[in-house]
Structure 1
Amino acid sequence: MAYPGPTPPYPGPGGWPVGPEQVEPRQRLHPLSPALHGAKSLVVVIAGLSWSTLSRVGFGTFAGMVVLLALGATVLSVVSWYNTGYHVVGRELRVYEGLLWRRTRAIPLERLQAVEVVRPLLAQLTGLAELRLEVVGGGKTEAPLAFLSVADATALRARLLDLAGRAPGQPPAPTVATTGPAAPNSPPLHTVTNRDLLVSQLLTPQAFMLPIGLAFVVAQFLSEDSWSFIAVASTLTAMAGILLQPVRRVLDDWNFRLHRDNGTLRVHNGLLETRVQTVPLSRVQAVGVTWPLLWRAKGWLRLRLEVAGYSAAEPDDRNRPDRLLPVGDRATGEMITGEVLPGVTIGELPLTAPPARARWLRPLSRRVLGAGLAERVFAVRSGLLTRQLAIVPYARIQSVRVVQGPVQRRLRLATVHADTAGGAGAAALHRDVTEAWALAAELTTRAQAARVSG
């Protein structure tokens, strides 16, 4: 929905004027957006009003309070929707919002790393979707546009990715009318079966410890002959908290499908909240491989992407939609890694262990540690119970650091860090100090050469 009236000639990036062909009417979100925001506010209101409030004021007054607060939240949502708009100006996406305090966010599309089309349960019921953008240096999602029709969200995603990948001055790609979600041009690169997903979450410490915890609690109740409601409720709450993470992983990764569409990866996943994440392969900073302890008997591993824009320190995995393969065997992991990083084979990376004196710092995991320089990537292995492998293309290395702690100095050891725009990178732990400086110099040389040739 476009704003009425002409659009003023906003300046383009860097203050340069934008030609008339690049100026477009400012668009509004879908008219049902206030209803969805109001429904979410209603849930928050009901959760915020405790049962003690219900017992004090009575059901009628309680229901009136809920209706009044929900109505107020809906009115605010309508006002916010009326004053929220977006449009593309040159190579920027601009989002306007606010009534008393106007705010304009301008997002240069050169910094765009990934675009997600997210459909929470209410959005699925109403045929809407939310568009989320991930940009370089962003600690959180930028400019979430909630909500758009699925067709509009899909078309806008394709347009933003096209602008982000186009060189300045290059003519735009021909636009194609879209009436629904864009279907990938090729069959899925890989599909994770829901059975494997369920079994993988049963092979977690939480699932293994749950029967032991229940047995302990029941034994305590039987020995003390105390089956009070509060004790039972507390136990069930604790058990639910333990199971929450595996259950959320199953819901988030349900029907996981991975497509490769030209130069992008497209990930489909989710049950209650579906996600379609599109990541340009040129923006991938690193690939992480993980072998959890309980998965090794089945030969399973997990792959993750590191994309600039996702906060590596984000504690909630739901806010870091960087899954590449939630569970799969070695052959599948090799195949997907080769698609993301051509020429890289997990089992053939030249990894060497640190010197024997590093056992004073890592007595149990010294033999597991490894680092090496392949033709196109820097690889680092770590972890005793949970094995991890970080693979960083040379072209994505932003800086190289050599770090020595007091004990490392005494043992003539050092750690080499290869930092990326995503923040995590890779760290070769406890290398011989001479080797560490030589490794850092070689990483710097290869990174500069890769950026020039790329």
Structure 2
Amino acid sequence: MTTLADGEWHRLHPASPLLRGGIFIVAVLGFIIANLRERLIDVFFGVPRYGGDPIDAILERGAVGWALLVVAVVLLLILAVFYLSWRMHTFRVTGEVVEVRSGMLFRSNRRARLDRIQGVNIVRPFIPRLIGAAKLEVSVAGQDANVQLAYLGSAPADQLRRDILRLASGLRQQAVAVADAALAPTLGLAPEAVRSPGTATTPGIAASPGTAMSPGTAAVPFTVADRARDFFAPELDPDAAPPESVVRIPPGRLIGSVVFSGFTVFVVLAGIALLISVTAGGSDWLLVAFIPTLIASVSFYFTRVTKSLRYSIAGTPDGVRVGFGLLTTSNETLPPGRIHAIGVSQPLLWRPFGWWQVRINTAGHSTTKGAAGEANTTTLPVGTLADVARVLELILPGFDSGEQQALIERGLRSKGGDDGFTNAPRRAAWLHPFSWRRTGYTVSDGIALLRRGVISRELMLIPLARLQSVTISQGPVTRMLRLASARLHTVAGPVSAYLGVVDVAEAPIFFDRIASGAISSAQADTSHHWNQPGWNQPDRNQPNRNQPNRNQPNRNQPNGVTE
């Protein structure tokens, strides 16, 4: 572990108050420039000023000295507040939590438990990048539970992220358990009695709770060479991930995905309606009113493209890393076992190009927007079918790139029929006349696959180890048609795992397969401790992991379809 993860209190980058209070400083500078603007115009161009000028009033009253004194006092007060804010903002990383203390008058203490960490995001805005600073955000399961460290040195931020993820993986607990077992015989104690309460790292040494050690500073020396190296370095370090696991988005495909979007359809339809209105004798002021809309559209396209440049998804020892950005960069690492649902979709306009999008549900969400201003739950903004397979191989533990890839491809492109999915019956056409053939499900090696949609194709993949519950319901219309609907409950997110129509005879079987598979998968799952040996090896000796045991009574088997 580095010095920032040693359990002691540390301070942020010394420029943190300045970077966080940048808007306030810009406002002060704007006020000063606005008052000096007319005076500078008068000095250089001889243009007379009109109206009252605060500077003229100060000169006429001979209060220049007092004015300078007031300015100096204000500047000193601002610097003192910034300094005290920096001094009182400290953090520490122990074997159990990431803790941040801040505030001068009103103290704040935030803790992020390592076992609840859902991801670690590092954002480098353009201005902080110039001085080698970055913002680190720890995403935690829960409402408004994230912990931010703004700002750290760029290199220390990367090191601290690795340390936090390694601690969250169970590596520290495993190492301490080994050390305790080795130390116990020499002390004549049981292994669990070696560690004193409050000790997170060193066996046999107690740490006084709440004791603040001499804080260190999470900063790096400012050198031009280091800043140039950080600024022009690739977003993803070539040594951080195997080259074969890296998925990138070409700029041409990225631009095409933005152009062939629903927003473009709206702009085109609005333009056609405007031209028809003007041609039919409408007022020309409509064209003038359309100009701001046109400018906003150009800005929208430019922002979405520039924010998504250098997009990459890669597999690292500590999880999936998603990075993007040209001037302001962002990269987030999602540890294994934190993804609760995956959605692969294809809008109608993307179908001729064979493009797909991958989104996920996680228990925690970063407050920083993802690529192109979208939610950070979009793992692959646009990619080919091969890209989708590589991304699924990264975010699904135990993914079989052979058999499962063929099943997923059929789920994405097949029109229905005998393709490995249990599909809705023909009478479901009364409710879903176009998509009933593609509405179906299957279960493969601890993963439930739900397929629906014909205009916008969708495939949902739900790791059964992360499933919260399963519901089978039936309304008056579906009861009359001998149909039902099914829903798999996961954490909130963009992926909604439900099937609108299921054969009423298939509904209990669906419930049984999903419920029993979820129980067995949860019992065998160790992905939350991904650094322990064998965590990614499913137990192949268990017969019919995802199939109900027909030889024993099934307590999860429903007596019928619930209303």
Matches within 5 A, 1:240-259: 240-242=295-297, 246-259=301-314
3-state SS of the aligned residue for 1:133?
strand
What is the match of residue 216 of structure 2?
Answer: none
Question: Once structures 1 and 2 are overlaid, which stretch shifts more, 240-249 or 22-31?
Answer: 240-249
Q: Identify the match of residue 375 of structure 1 among 445, 448, 454.
A: 445
- Counterpart for residue 126 of structure 1: 131
2:341 to 286, 298, 317: 286
- What secondary structure sits across from 1:451 in the alignment? helix
Distance in 1 separating the partners of 2:492 and 2:299:
28
Q: Which amino acid aligns with 2:485?
A: T
Alignment of 1:396 with 2:428, yes or no, is: no
Shift of 1:189: 1.7
Unaligned runs of 5+ in 2: 38-49, 55-70, 179-200, 202-219, 221-225, 231-235, 412-419, 526-563
Which structure's relative contact order is higher, taking Cα pairs within 8 Å and 6+ residues apart?
2
Of residues 34, 50, 53 in structure 1, which corresponds to 2:17? 34
TM-superposed CA distance for 1:131, in Å, is: 0.8
Give how far 1:431 is off: 0.9
Deviation at 1:333, TM superposition (A): 1.6
Quote the residue 1:273 is aligned against.
328
Q: Aligned partners of 1:420 and 1:60: how far apart in 2?
A: 63
Residues 135-284 of structure 1: pairs in structure 2 closer than 5 A: 135-136=140-141, 138-140=142-144, 142-166=146-170, 169-171=173-175, 183-187=239-243, 189-218=246-275, 220-221=277-278, 226-228=283-285, 234-242=289-297, 246-284=301-339
Q: Give 2:500's aligned residue.
A: 429
**Does 2:518 correspond to 1:447?**
yes
For residue 323 of structure 1, the aligned residue among 378, 382, 398 is 378
Residue range with higher mean Cα deviation, 246-255 or 110-119: 246-255
In structure 1, the residue matched to 2:195 is none
Provide closer, same or farther for how the CA distance between residues 323 and 76 of structure 1 changes in structure 2, counting only shifts above 3 A.
Answer: farther
Does the aligned pair in 1 maintain the 2:7–2:95 contact within 8 Å? no
8 Å CA contact 2:133–2:151 kept in 1: the answer is yes
Matched position secondary structure for 1:105? strand
Q: Does structure 2 retain, via aligned residues, the 8 Å contact 1:35–1:74?
A: no
Is 1:113 paired with 2:168?
no
Give the aligned residue type for 2:242: S
The 3 A distance-change label for structure 1 pair 254 and 29 is: same
- 1:386-412 CA-partner distances (Å, limit 9, x unpaired): 211111122121211223334333333
**How far off its partner does 1:426 sit?**
1.5
Deviations 1:124-153 (A, max 9, x none): 2332111112222x3457012111111121
**Aligned ranges 1:351-362 → 2 under 5 Å:** 351-362=421-432
**Mapped partners of 1:264, 1:107: distance in 2:** 19
2:119 and 2:332 in contact (8 A); partners too = yes
- Superposition deviation, residue 245 in structure 1: 5.3
Residue type matched to 1:186 in 2?
P
Higher share in strand? 1
Distance 1:192 1:321 in 2: 16
Q: Give CA-to-partner distance per residue, 1:20-54, whole Å, 9 cap, x none.
A: xx97432222111222222234568999xxx9xx9
Say if 2:423 and 2:438, in contact at 8 Å, map to a contact too.
yes
The superposition leaves residues 83-139 of structure 1 with CA deviations (integer Å, 9 ceiling, x where unpaired) of 221111331011112222211111110001111111122222332111112222x34
Cα distance in 1 for partners of 2:324, 2:466 equals 27
Question: How big is each residue's C-alpha offset from its partner over 1:329-354, in whole Å with a ceiling of 9 and x where there is no partner?
Answer: 11222233233331131214532321
Identity of aligned residues (%): 29
Q: Does the CA contact (< 8 Å) of 2:355 and 2:382 recur in 1? A: yes
The alpha carbon displacement at 1:413 in A equals 2.4
Contact kept in structure 2, 1:37 and 1:74, CA below 8 Å: no
Question: How far 1:291 moved relative to its partner?
Answer: 0.7
- Residues 245 and 407 of structure 1: CA distance in aligned 2, closer, same or farther (over 3 Å): farther
In structure 2, the partner of 1:16 is none
TM-score by length of 1: 0.79
Distance 2:288 2:516 in 1: 61
Q: State the TM-score, normalizing by the size of structure 2.
A: 0.65
In 2 relative to 1, CA 431–86 (structure 1 residues): closer, same or farther, beyond 3 Å?
same
Distance in 2 of aligned mates of 1:193 and 1:203:
16
Aligned counterparts of 1:241 and 1:77: Cα–Cα separation in 2: 37
2-structure distance, mates of 1:390, 1:422: 14
Structure 2 letter corresponding to 1:92: V
The amino acid of 1:204's aligned partner reads S
Give the structure 2 partner of residue 300 of structure 1.
355
Quote the Cα distance in structure 2 between the aligned partners of 1:426 and 1:216: 38
CA contact under 8 A between 2:356 and 2:383: conserved in structure 1?
A: yes
Q: Report the AA paired with residue 444 of structure 1.
A: A
Q: What number of residue pairs does the alignment pair up?
A: 416
Q: Secondary structure at the match of 2:520?
A: helix
Give 1:79 deviation, angstroms.
4.7
Query: Counterparts of 1:120 and 1:255 in 2: how far apart (Å)?
Result: 15
Partners in 1 of 2:84 and 2:473 — Cα distance?
A: 53
Shift of 1:196: 1.0
Q: Which amino acid aligns with 2:339?
A: V
How far apart are 1:238 and its partner, in Å?
A: 2.9
Amino acid aligned to 2:355: W
Give the aligned partner of residue 347 of structure 1.
409
Question: Secondary structure of the equivalent of 2:436?
Answer: coil
Aligned residue number for residue 8 of structure 1: none
Q: Which has the larger Rg?
A: 2
Q: Do the aligned partners of residues 362 and 74 (structure 1) sit closer, same or farther apart at CA in structure 2, a change above 3 Å counting? A: farther
Secondary structure of the equivalent of 1:289? Answer: strand
Q: Which amino acid aligns with 1:448?
A: I
Any conservation in 2 of the 1:304–1:322 contact (CA below 8 Å)? yes
Aligned to 1:13: none
Residue 103 of structure 2 corresponds to 98
1:37·1:77 contact (CA, 8 Å) conserved in 2?
A: no
Unaligned runs of 5+ in 1: 1-21, 62-66
